[in-house]
Chain A
Amino acid sequence: MDRKVLIRKVIVYAVYILLLTSFQVTFPRAISFRGQIADLMFVFVVMTGYFFGFADGAVVGLITGLFRDYFAGPAFIGLDGKTARTVGIGMLVLFLAAAVSSSFFTRRMHRNLTFAFLATAACTLIYKISGHIIASLWTSATSSNSYGLSIGTIITDSILPQLMLNLIITVPMIFLLRFAGPYKKGVNPYLDKEEIGGNTWLTI
């Protein structure tokens, strides 16, 4: 890889990771609805994986996840009944999000723009549904209380608001990656030509 390309890529990713992560944990209520927060980190990783491939998405996902763990690493009730903070869940979540998005119909749809929204929607749904399943199982294993959230509440107060917020912030995220992203012209030239399909997604 060309040295200039590499330097630009590293700087752009570093700046975006720091800014988006910091913004989300400092002003979480700036973009929120029904108690849910627009997940800038998550959407950034999903879009990076979708547009620029698995390698970029995985690295960005792992680093962003590390920052997510540092700032707001989830605390869970352990088997000993004590609540403790965990390390690595953010990294795992964002790495898997990048892995899913980087293979989300990318060959068939050539990473085109419309499917970027579907990629965000699919990854958000997978994250929220699996998150609630794991949280529910963990709660019943470690606590005498039930999880308490009905399926209806999960859909109306958790999944749908989160889905809406993430889809909204996908728009600026696409512009960011397209016009001020890690690659000139918004395309990773090192991906298979078949996957980027003659830069079809550039037609914004």
Chain B
Amino acid sequence: MVALVSLLLLAVIVIGALPGSPLRKGLRSIGSVASPAQRGVKFVGNKASDFWAAVTDGMAIREENEELHDEIARLRYQLTQYEEAGIKYEELREAFHIRDTFSNYDIYGASVLSREADEWFAVVRIGLGTTDGVSMPEGDSFAVVDVETNLIGRVIELEENDSTVLPLLHEGFVVSGKVNEVNGIGVTVSGDAALKAEGLCLVTGISENEILEVGAEIVTSGDGGLFPQGIPIGVIESVDYSNPIAITATLRPYADISSLNDVFVMIPYSLIDEWEEEAEESDVPSSAEETEQG
């Protein structure tokens, strides 16, 4: 009995691993039961946490409030200066045709729905799905960033109401990066089983002729086409030159998904334009049919 069921489950795993497997669609239907329950638990947990924080943080909040009053006054002054600077920047941007770093990407906000269950069951679900008007072509992926545009991970699966994110620290995560300076050296940043517990990533692909310094900032290089160039990933924490033909380093990511409640998904405008065109095309026959019927 145990052997039979185990064999059946092994078959499920193999069939489920095939691209476009119907088993994946079957698993999505579990969401109609699981997601509301999980959202309920999240709501109750957050409320309890807020209540507890309100009880315990009273004195600290009062002190913080006074500090924030002073800071607001300072920031208001700064804001007026930045507004003037912003106007000047816009004028210069138009005059010199300067492109914003991520001007080709639209940003979709999403809340973190669920996190890892253990060290192997370690993907994260976020609340962005096809019902939000996005879709992901086969083999494609979207960068997921925090509020300061630091890289968190990438979307590997997009479903109706949510999507699955592979976090930066996951062993399956690989991204091309470079030192954030003009002609900065290129590296490969990946998750690593041994470094994950310390919250670090592995850096490889370092040329023996180049010197990678501790403290150097690594950003995405844009090679490979999945991610735009210039997304901050983290800083180099240590470099191991002991093997000249395989120099490795460790990187501490800026963002930590375990402490975030909201994330942002970067989707290229070119893809959004395609969706709009497709939507328009699918609208045309239906309106034609309506005219014929009328």
Q: Contact residues of A with B, CB < 8 Å?
A: 18-19, 21-29, 34-37, 39, 41-42, 58, 62, 66-78, 82-92, 95-96, 99, 131, 135, 139, 145, 147-150, 153, 157-158, 162
Residue contact A88 to B12, C-beta cutoff 8 Å: yes
10 of the cross-chain contacts (CB-CB < 8 Å) are A70-B30, A70-B34, A71-B38, A71-B121, A72-B116, A74-B121, A75-B122, A83-B166, A89-B13, A148-B192
What's the minimum C-beta distance from A157 to chain B, rounded to whole angstroms?
5
B 27-46 contacts with A by CB, 8 A: 27-28, 30-31, 33-34, 37-38, 40-42, 45
> Apart from A18-B38, A88-B16, A148-B192, what are 5 other A-B pairs with CB-CB below 8 Å?
A28-B115, A36-B118, A66-B30, A72-B125, A83-B166
Residue contact A96 to B34, C-beta cutoff 8 Å: no
What's the minimum C-beta distance from A98 to chain B, rounded to whole angstroms?
9
Known A91-B9, A135-B193; judge A25-B172 contact (CB<8 A).
no
Give Cα A73–Cα B192 distance, bound, in whole angstroms: 19
Give Cα A95–Cα B17 distance, bound, in whole angstroms: 20
Stretch from B194-202, B228-236, B265-273, B283-291 contacting the other chain: B194-202
B173 contact set on A, CB distance < 8 A: 83
Residue contact B6 to A95, C-beta cutoff 8 Å: yes
Known A22-B40, A85-B164, A148-B195; judge A74-B123 contact (CB<8 A).
yes
Q: Contact residues of B with A, CB < 8 Å?
A: 2, 5-6, 9-10, 12-13, 16-17, 19, 21, 23-24, 27-28, 30-31, 33-34, 37-38, 40-42, 45, 114-125, 139, 156-157, 164, 166, 170-173, 190, 192-197, 202, 204, 258
What's the minimum C-beta distance from B175 to chain A, rounded to whole angstroms?
12
The residue of chain A having its C-beta at the shortest distance from the C-beta of B9 within the complex is A92
Residue contact A26 to B115, C-beta cutoff 8 Å: yes
What's the minimum C-beta distance from B249 to chain A, rounded to whole angstroms?
14
Give Cα A29–Cα B117 distance, bound, in whole angstroms: 10
Number of residue pairs spanning A and B whose beta carbons lie under 8 angstroms apart: 172
Give Cα A39–Cα B114 distance, bound, in whole angstroms: 15
Dominant secondary structure of chain A at its interface with chain B: helix
What's the minimum C-beta distance from B242 to chain A, rounded to whole angstroms?
16
Give Cα A91–Cα B119 distance, bound, in whole angstroms: 16
Give Cα A11–Cα B95 distance, bound, in whole angstroms: 68
What's the minimum C-beta distance from A70 to chain B, rounded to whole angstroms?
4
Residue contact B34 to A21, C-beta cutoff 8 Å: yes
What's the minimum C-beta distance from A166 to chain B, rounded to whole angstroms?
10
Residue contact B23 to A37, C-beta cutoff 8 Å: no
A96 contact set on B, CB distance < 8 A: 2, 6
Give Cα A78–Cα B24 distance, bound, in whole angstroms: 16
